[in-house]
Amino acid sequence: MTISTDLPVVQREELISGSEAIARACALADVDVVTAYPIRPYDTVMQFLSKLIADGELKCEYIVAESEHSQFEIVKHASAVGARTFTGSSGVGWFYGMEALAVTAGLRLPVVALVGNRALDDPGAFGCEHNDALAVRDLGWMLNWVATGQEALDTALIAWRVAEDPRVFLPCALSADGAFLTHSQQIVNVPDKRLVERFLPPYNRGDLTLHPDNPITIAPQVNEDWLMEMRKQSDAAMRRARGVIIEAYKDFNRIFNRDLTPFVDEYMTEDAEVILVGMGTMAMPMRVAVRRMRAQGQKVGFLRLKWMRPFPVEDVQRVLSRAKAVGVIDRDYSFGSPFHGGVLYNEIRSALYDMNPRVPLVGFIAGLGGREITQPFATEMFGIAQQVAKTGKSDNETHWIGVRGKKA
């Protein structure tokens, strides 16, 4: 790996929240159009971004919309004329704009959005749940979860690079756990803008750009003779996205002298008999638990899934096939789903289906509504998974960890 050393890979260090790190990324990426609408907790990115714009650190069209629906529609149309865009939302706000989110993917427009994960109403709740972002997982949105402020900044730059790649042209949602990441501040290394320009080429939509010099008609109504072919095109684009993501991480590591892995983060999984899987900031308490149990000689590990769409089947199979038992921690729910498991549980279950031998799986629902995933909860989950490893059989029960009353 050749490392470019002519420019500082760290221009300056800042103590900022995950939201603020993504706002920094917007300035580094020279975003053209930003739309905002208030809802906690994602709005922190717009509070910081509007200040950057006010201070002249980012020159762009900044529009405070009158609803999430308009907020997402405005960037959708700006993206169609060739503008680099950023927006975001949380919880029911994300759902209020759902129509716009669906068509943005259908139109193959590379909008990048932050989802500050928040529980859906009712009842009104500000705490973290993943169901808001997960709602777009079938629509043609690329979807990933970040765990730290640094990763938020890095992944935002990668998101534009992949989304705007002509082989992909799909929108990308960055998911950040509400409060845990959107509001907590850490030291983040902000790279030199000139390096970012080497990594992130300008957005060029080519002959799909809406402009008088390119008089096209976009999205005419279709009957059953056409739609299936269009869905197949989106499917093909999402399939191509995997390779483009790997490419982007390789360049990112080279240009910024880093060693990021594209799809998953492994923690002490090499020789682990029991591996728990989860997304987002829960990785921190889980890593602590892994260290403590390792200290007692227990072979456990944690796998953090970074990309939900495209789903990294190969990586998940490679890592989990080594274990005697796997537990999946969902910070979401999918009521009435197979085995009453969460969304991630059922996705991983399907990813492991063809493996031989098939590793026994157990599901956990934890940390809903922003409830903390504590050390006792972590050890409890490892304990249940270790039992499965011993017996080699799972009861296919989904365990609600930390819920008052019956756990299943």
Partner 1 sequence: MTTYAVEVVYRGIFQKRLSANICRGIVLAAHKEAKVGTAFGRYGDSPERNGIPAKFFAVVADTPLELEESLAKYEPKEVDVTICLDDTLCKGIESWAWYGLQSIGAITKPGGTLIVTSKQTTEALLEDIHQKDAPYNLAIIKGPASFSGLWVYKDDHTDVRILGALAKVCPGLVSLESYCKAIAEQWKSEAKLKSAQRSYEQTQLRPVEPAEGNHGALYSFDKPGWEEMKEALVISGIAPGTGFRGGEGGFQPGRSDVFKKFSTRTMRPVVNFETCTKCTLCWLQCPDSCFDVTPDGLYDANMEACCGCGVCADVCPVADCVTMVNEADFTDNSSQYEHYQRDKKGYLRWLGGKTATPKAESRSHGLHHWSQYQDEMVAAAKERSNDN
Partner 2 sequence: MTTTQQLKPIRGVHNAPLEEFYTSGHRTCQGCESALTMKLMVKAAGPRTIVLGSTGCMYVANTTYYSTPWVVPWMHTQLGSSGSAATGTAAGLKALMRKQKIKDEPINVISFCGDGGGADMGLSGISASLTHPEYNHLVLMYDNESYANTDIQVSGSSPWGANSTFSPPGKEHRIMNTRWKKNTAAMLAVGHPMSRYLATGCGSYAVDLMNKVRKALAIGGPTFIHTLDPCPKGWDYDPKYSHELGMLAVETGLWVQWEIEDSKLRYSGPSRMIAVGRRKRKSIVDYLKRQGRFAHFKEEDIAYFQAQVDQIWEKWGTPGVSPMRLDVGGDRA
Using CB under 8 A as the criterion, which residues of the chain lie in contact with partner 1 when the complex forms?
106-109, 169, 207-208, 215-220, 223-226, 229-230, 232-233, 236-237
Q: How far is the CB of 251 from partner 1 (least distance, A)?
A: 24
Site stretch for partner 2 (CB under 8 A), options 216-224, 337-345, 363-371, 377-385: 216-224
Q: How far is the CB of 110 from partner 1 (least distance, A)?
A: 10
Q: How far is the CB of 232 from partner 2 (least distance, A)?
A: 15
403 binds partner 2 (CB under 8 A): no
98 binds partner 2 (CB under 8 A): no
The DSSP annotation for 136-167 comes to TTTTT-EEEEE-SHHHHHHHHHHHHHHHTSTT
Site stretch for partner 2 (CB under 8 A), options 223-231, 267-275, 312-320, 382-390: 223-231
Query: Which residues, 6 or more positions from 33, have their beta carbon under 8 angstroms from its beta carbon?
Result: 60, 61, 63, 74, 75, 78, 79, 83, 84, 85, 86
Give the SS3 label for residue 399. Answer: strand
Q: How far is the CB of 80 from partner 2 (least distance, A)?
A: 6
Q: Among partner 1, partner 2, none, what does residue 60 contact (CB within 5–8 Å per kind)?
A: partner 2
User: Residue 215: which H helix or E strand, with range?
Assistant: none
Nearer to partner 1, 122 or 229 (CB): 229
Q: Which stretches of 257-342 are DSSP H helices?
A: 283-295, 313-320
Sign of CA dihedral 151, 401, 408, 296: positive
Q: How far is the CB of 236 from partner 1 (least distance, A)?
A: 7
Q: Among partner 1, partner 2, none, what does residue 232 contact (CB within 5–8 Å per kind)?
A: partner 1
Q: Which of 202, 297, 357, 405 binds partner 2 (CB under 8 A)?
A: 202
Q: What is the DSSP letter of 339?
A: G
Judge whether 35 and 72 are in contact, CB under 8 Å: yes
Q: Among partner 1, partner 2, none, what does residue 202 contact (CB within 5–8 Å per kind)?
A: partner 2
CB atoms within 10 A of CB 278: 26
228 binds partner 2 (CB under 8 A): no
The rounded distance, in Å, linking the Cα atoms of 275 and 94 is: 32
Q: How far is the CB of 15 from partner 1 (least distance, A)?
A: 41
The rounded distance, in Å, linking the Cα atoms of 63 and 239 is: 34
210 binds partner 2 (CB under 8 A): yes
- Show the tokens assigned to 383: 């304990």
The rounded distance, in Å, linking the Cα atoms of 376 and 389 is: 20
The rounded distance, in Å, linking the Cα atoms of 70 and 47 is: 19
Nearer to partner 2, 111 or 146 (CB): 111
Q: How far is the CB of 80 from partner 1 (least distance, A)?
A: 9
Q: Which of 56, 123, 206, 212 binds partner 2 (CB under 8 A)?
A: 212
- Show the tokens assigned to 375: 């050390």
Among positions 6-65, residues that touch partner 2 (CB under 8 A) are 30, 32-33, 35, 59-61, 63, 65
Q: How far is the CB of 74 from partner 2 (least distance, A)?
A: 4
The rounded distance, in Å, linking the Cα atoms of 161 and 217 is: 26
Give the SS3 label for residue 288. Answer: helix
Q: Among partner 1, partner 2, none, what does residue 405 contact (CB within 5–8 Å per kind)?
A: none
User: Residue 189: which H helix or E strand, with range?
Assistant: strand 185-190
Binding residues vs partner 2 (CB under 8 A): 30, 32-33, 35, 59-61, 63, 65-67, 69-71, 73-83, 85, 99-100, 103, 202, 210-212, 214-223, 225-226
